[in-house]
Structure 1
Amino acid sequence: MTEPLVAIQDLHVEARTDAGRRVEIIKGVSFTINEGEIVALIGESGSGKTTIALTLMGYTRSGCQISGGKVLLGGQDLVSMPERDRQKLRGTDVAYVPQSAAAAFNPSHRLIDQVIEVAGIHRLMSRAEAKAKAIELFHALALPDPDTIGDRYPHQVSGGQLQRLAAAMALIGDPRLVIFDEPTTALDVTTQIEVLRAFKSVMRNGGMAGVYVSHDLAVVAQIADRIIVLKGGEIQEEGSTRQILESANHPYTRQLLAAFQPTPFVAPTPAAQETPIRRALLEVSGIYAGYGPIQADGLPYKTVLRDVSCKLERGHNLGLIGESGSGKSTLARVIAGLLPAVRGHVQLDGRELDPKAGLRSKEELRRMQIVFQLADTALNPQRSVADILGRPLAFYHGETGAAQEARVGELLDMVQLPRTLRHRMPGELSGGQKQRVNFARALAAKPDLILCDEITSALDTVVAAAIIDLLKDLQRELGLSYVFISHDLSTVQSICDQVMVMQHGEMVELLANDQLPAGARHPYSKLLFASVPKLDPGWLDGLPADFSESAKTSDRSG
C-alpha cells in the first residue's frame, strides 16, 4: 500500500489571547490525503478549517503556534524542519490559493510578472519558459484572451478572472498539493461555476492533490472526493462526499446540511387595522444613476442604473438579485440617498424624498436604514458595542444616560446577543455577532424600512440561516419591511414576497415568491437560477458543455 501524500498526526495549535492566556484552537486532529485526492475541510467560522490548512505549509497566523503533533508532506515533517527548508517547499511542493485574489496581487505590477514570480524565486525555469507555461495555464483555466491577459494589471480584469489567475500563480511550480481557501466565496454563482470547472479540470489533468476549505457544502460537493467536518478545532465526521451528503451521522453535519434547505417563505398576515386604500411604503420610479461627470445626454459617464422602478408594500419584502455589477447595491444607495439619482423619484409613504441623504429630514432618515455587507468596515473598531448602538439612540430619539443604557440592553436582546457584549470592541466579536450589532444599530432608529445589502454573504451557512430567522422574527414583532440584496437565490427565496432580477443596471424580470425558480421566463433569470450549486456531487459535471459560455457573457466584475 502506497504512503499518503499528506499525514496530519495528532495536530495541536494554540493561540495567545491579549491577556496572555493560551487557548487550544486545534485539538488533536489527524487525517491523511492521498496523491491526486481532493479533501474538503468544512465547518462554521472558527471551526479551525483555515488554521489546519495553513499548517500544511508549515505556517500559522500571528499569535498562533503548533504545540504538538506532526504535519507530514511527502514524508517530511513540516513542524520540525527549519523555516529555511519550509520556504523551499512553498510554491513547489505545496501552494496556496487565497479567498481574496484581489488582496494577493500587487496593483502596480502586470499579472504575468506576478504569476511567474515563484518560478524565478525557486529557479525552476527560465523567464521565457515560465511565461509559456503561464499561458498554457491561462488556456487550461479558461481565461479570456489567454495569450495577452497577462499584460494587464489586476484592476483590468474581473473578480472571477483574478481568482483563476491566483490559481495559475499557485500552479506554475507544479505543486503536489494545492490549498484552496474559500476561493469562490466572494463570486457570483455563474462566475463560480466557471472557476470551479477550471480548478477541477486542471487538478484532474495534473494529478494534483488538494485541500478545499469552505463552509459551502454545495460547492464542496462538486470538487471534493472526501469531506472532513470540523467544529471547535475537532473532527466531527469524515467520509466520502456522497456518504456525507446522503447519510451523515453526526448531528452537527446534519445541521450544516439543514442550513441549505431554507425555511419556506410564509406571506405576512394583513394587519387587522389595514386601511381600504393601500399605499406603497416605498416606490421607486424611472431611476437613472451612476458615477463620473454628467455627459451631454444628461447621464453620468458611467451610467449604472437605467430606468429602474419598483414598489414595496408595508410589511412585505423585496429581493434584488443579480451578479456583481448588475446595479443591486447602487439601487440601494440611491434609495438611501447615498448616491443621488440624476433622474427618477424615490417616495416613502407617498412622500417624495430628496435625492441626497444630507437634505432629507431627520424623520425621513430615521424611517429608512441601511445595513451594509461587511460589518468589519461598517462598525467603528475604536468604539464599544454600547457606543455604536448609543449614537443613533441619541441622534434620533435624544436618549442618553440610563435611558440609553437600558435601550442598548433591549437592542442586544432583540438581536439575540448577551448584554455582556456591550463593553466589547468589534474586533472581539465573531462575524455573526458583528453583523447582529450592525443590524441592532439600524433597529435603534425604529425604522419602517431596512435596506439589507448582502448582509449574509460573508457568513457561514449556519450563521447566515440564523440571521435570516432573526430578520423574520423581528419583522413579525416590529412590522418591518426589507429590501434584501443578494446573489443567493435560496436566501431571498426564504424571506421575500417578490424578487426583482437585475442585469446590467436594468430590471429584467419581477417574480412572486411562488414562481421561484421554475416560473422564470427571461433567459438571464433562468441562467442565474440554474447556476446555484446543488447538494449533488454530479451536478457540475452534468451541466451542458456550453453552460459556462452563457455565463461568461455576464462575467464583467466577477
Structure 2
Amino acid sequence: MTNNLLRVRDLCIDAPASKGPIRIAQGIDFDLHRGEVLALIGESGAGKSTIGIATLGAGRGGAYIAQGSILLEGEDIMAKGAARLRSIRGLRVAYVAQSAASAFNPAHRLIDQVTETIISRGIMDRPAARSRAIELFRKLGLPSPETFGEKFPHQASGGQLQRAMTAMAICAGPELIVFDEPTTALDVTTQIEVLLSIRQAIRDEGMAAIYISHDLALVAQIADQIMVLRHGQIVETGPTRDIIERPQQDYTRRLIAVQSVALPTRSSQPVMLEISGINASYGRVPVLHNINLSVAKGRTLALVGESGSGKSTLGKVVAGLLPPDSGRVTLVDRPLSSSLSGRSRQDLRDIQLVHQNPDLALNPRRSVGDSIGQAVTMFRGLTNKDCSREVAHLLEQVNLDPALATRLPHALSGGQKQRVCIARALAANPRLIICDEVTSALDPLVAEGVQNLLRQLQEDEGVSYLFITHDFGAVRAMADEVAVMRQGSVIAYGPTGQVLNAPQDPYTQKLISSVPELRVGWLDDIVAARTAPQNARTEKMT
C-alpha cells in the first residue's frame, strides 16, 4: 500500500456560461500522503472549494473537470463512472461543508443523519453506529453526547451543527476528508478542541485531509503543506513553516500582513440602541438573563462568547424575530414592539440583520440582482433602470462585480454570498445593522475590505453595528465596546481595549488565550500549558 494517497495532475475546471465555458481553475498539481494535511488558502472566489470538491469527483455550481487526472491510490476516480464514484463517496472520501445548517435535513434527528451512511452501506448495525456517533460527539466536545443526537438541526447552534457534520464525515473512517471552512462557525475555545480532534483523527486513522480555510493562524496549527490560490491558479505552495515564515510571493505576504490590526479610538456619541432587562427563552428553556447593553450612534458593540452563549439569540430579540419574556428594546428613544409584526415599516428599515449563514438567507431560486432589488424596491421605491443601477452600486460597495447580479446563489463562493447579504442590508439605508458573523466566511483580505466598508459607512452615515462574532481580530478592528456572554448572561462589558487587554474574569481570559497566533506550533504550546497543571496535581497526589 503506497503512502501517496492522492495525486492530482494538470487539473483544469470549467464552469458553463452563456458565451462558452469559463476556466475557473487551471494547472493544479499536488500530492497528498496518508496522515498529511494540505491547506488551500486564498481570497473568496480563488477556487479553494471548487478544487477541494473536485478531488471527490464532484462539481460545484455546474462546474466540471475539463482535463487532468485525480488518482486515489493510483485509481483514476474520474475514469470509473458515476456508479463507482457513488460507491466511494462517504466511505473512502468524505466532505465537511462550509455551511452545516444547509447540509442537514431539518425534518430528521441529527443521530439518524450522522449514522445514515454507515448503516445504509452495511458497515455497522444501528446500535453500533449509534455508539460510534456518541463517541465522536464526545470527542468533538458536543454537549450531553449521549442525548445530543436526539435534537433536530434547528435545536442546535451553528457551531454545534458544524461539529455534528464533522462527526458524520469521520464516522465511516474515510481515507480522505475535504474540510471546507470547518471552524468558520466556532468560537475560539471550541476551535481548539475541534482542531485537536481533527488532527488526532487524521493521525490515528491514517487519513489525509484537504483543509480549506481563510484563517492562516488556524492553518498553521494543522497543515503540513499550504497551497496559496488566486484566480484559480497556484500562487505558491510549500511546507507550512516556509509559507508562514518565508513567503515568496507578494500576494502571500499580503494575506499574512492583514493579521495585524489596531483598536479604533473615537469620541462618544448619543445612544442609538438600548437593551434593557431582556429575558428570553425558547419554549420553557431560558436562554437570556437580564441583558442590559447599549450601542451609540455610529459605533460598534461586539458580542463575543462560545457557541450557545446567547449572542445570536440576543440579535434576534433586537431584530424582532424572537419576542422577549420581559424587558425593552429602544431605538433612538423609540420603544420597539417585541414582535416583528408589531413594528412599522420605518422600524423594519432602521434595523437590518445580516445572517450568519448566507445559504439560508438567500433564496436559491432568485438571482443576486432580484434579491437585492427586492430590498431596493421595498425600502426606496425604485424600479426598473433606477433599481438596476442601485443594485450595481451596492454590489460595487461590497467589492463584487455588478455582472454577478444575473447569477444564482449556488454559482457564488461562500464569501461572495455573504457580501450579497451585506449589500441587501445596505439597500435599506439602516440606522443599525446586526452583523451575525458577517466576516466568518471571508478570507483575510476580503474580510478586511468588508470591515473597511462597514467603518466607512459609519463615518459617512452614522450607522451603528451590533457585531456578533467569535473572531477577536475582527473585534479589535471594528468594536468600540465588547460584551462577553456566557450561558445567556453578560459577564464582562466595557471598552474594547479594557476588556481585551486586561480581562478581569477567568472565562474572558480563557477566550482571549484561545485566539490562535500566526506561528507554527502555537496549538501544541497551548495544549502543553493546559496539561502542565493537571500533571503537577497528579504528581502531588502520588
Name the TM-score, length of structure 1 as normaliser. 0.82
Give how far 1:123 is off.
Answer: 5.7
- Alignment-derived partner of residue 539 in structure 2: none
- Alignment-derived partner of residue 326 in structure 1: 309
Per the alignment, in what secondary structure is the counterpart of residue 333 of structure 1? helix
Q: Structure 1 residues 336 and 20, CA, compared in 2 at 3 Å: closer, same or farther?
A: same
Residue by residue, what CA displacement relative to the aligned partner does 1:478-525 show, whole Å, maximum 9, x if unpaired?
222222121211112211111011112211101312225231112221
- What CA distance in whole angstroms lies between the structure 2 residues aligned with 1:335 and 1:137? 36
- What CA distance in whole angstroms lies between the structure 2 residues aligned with 1:98 and 1:75? 26
Tell me if 1:50 matches 2:33.
no
Residue by residue, what CA displacement relative to the aligned partner does 1:405-431 show, whole Å, maximum 9, x if unpaired?
766666556545566666666666655
- Alignment-derived partner of residue 64 in structure 1: 63
Tell me if 1:285 matches 2:276.
yes
* Paired positions, count: 531
Contact 1:160 1:192 in 2 (8 A): no
Residue by residue, what CA displacement relative to the aligned partner does 1:330-378 show, whole Å, maximum 9, x if unpaired?
2223223333333222223333333334434444444433333344444
- Alignment-derived partner of residue 540 in structure 2: none
Tell me if 1:302 matches 2:303.
no
Give how far 1:310 is off.
Answer: 1.1
Tell me if 1:514 matches 2:504.
no
- What CA distance in whole angstroms lies between the structure 1 residues aligned with 2:443 and 2:77? 30
RMSD (Å), alpha carbons: 3.7
Structure 1 residues 118-133: aligned runs within 5 Å: none
Contact 2:329 2:336 in 1 (8 A): yes
- Alignment-derived partner of residue 8 in structure 1: 8
Larger mean Cα displacement after TM superposition, 307-316 or 163-172: 163-172
Contact 1:163 1:195 in 2 (8 A): no
- What CA distance in whole angstroms lies between the structure 2 residues aligned with 1:343 and 1:172? 43
- Alignment-derived partner of residue 22 in structure 1: 21
Structure 1, unpaired ranges of 5+: 271-277, 293-300, 551-558
- Alignment-derived partner of residue 368 in structure 1: 351
Name the TM-score, length of structure 2 as normaliser. 0.84
Give how far 1:118 is off.
Answer: 5.1
- What CA distance in whole angstroms lies between the structure 1 residues aligned with 2:107 and 2:342? 39
- What CA distance in whole angstroms lies between the structure 2 residues aligned with 1:302 and 1:318? 26
- What CA distance in whole angstroms lies between the structure 2 residues aligned with 1:338 and 1:422? 28
Per the alignment, in what secondary structure is the counterpart of residue 511 of structure 2? helix
Q: Structure 1 residues 71 and 524, CA, compared in 2 at 3 Å: closer, same or farther?
A: same
Q: Structure 1 residues 361 and 253, CA, compared in 2 at 3 Å: closer, same or farther?
A: same
Residue by residue, what CA displacement relative to the aligned partner does 1:289-312 show, whole Å, maximum 9, x if unpaired?
2333xxxxxxxx232221111122
Letter in 2 for 1:532: V
Contact 2:483 2:494 in 1 (8 A): yes
- What CA distance in whole angstroms lies between the structure 2 residues aligned with 1:22 and 1:403? 31
Contact 1:375 1:434 in 2 (8 A): yes
Contact 1:286 1:307 in 2 (8 A): yes
1:487 to 452, 470, 483: 470
Contact 1:190 1:531 in 2 (8 A): yes
Contact 2:166 2:182 in 1 (8 A): no
Give how far 1:240 is off.
Answer: 0.9
1:543 to 518, 526, 531: 526
Residue by residue, what CA displacement relative to the aligned partner does 1:61-84 show, whole Å, maximum 9, x if unpaired?
463332222222222222323444
- What CA distance in whole angstroms lies between the structure 2 residues aligned with 1:381 and 1:151? 28
Letter in 2 for 1:287: I
Q: Please identify the structure whose Cα radius of gyration is greater.
A: 1
Larger mean Cα displacement after TM superposition, 403-412 or 63-72: 403-412
2:266 to 257, 265, 268: 268
Tell me if 1:497 matches 2:460.
no
Larger mean Cα displacement after TM superposition, 377-386 or 526-535: 377-386
- Alignment-derived partner of residue 525 in structure 1: 508
Contact 2:264 2:476 in 1 (8 A): no
Larger relative helix fraction: 2
Tell me if 1:346 matches 2:345.
no
Identity of matched residues, %: 46
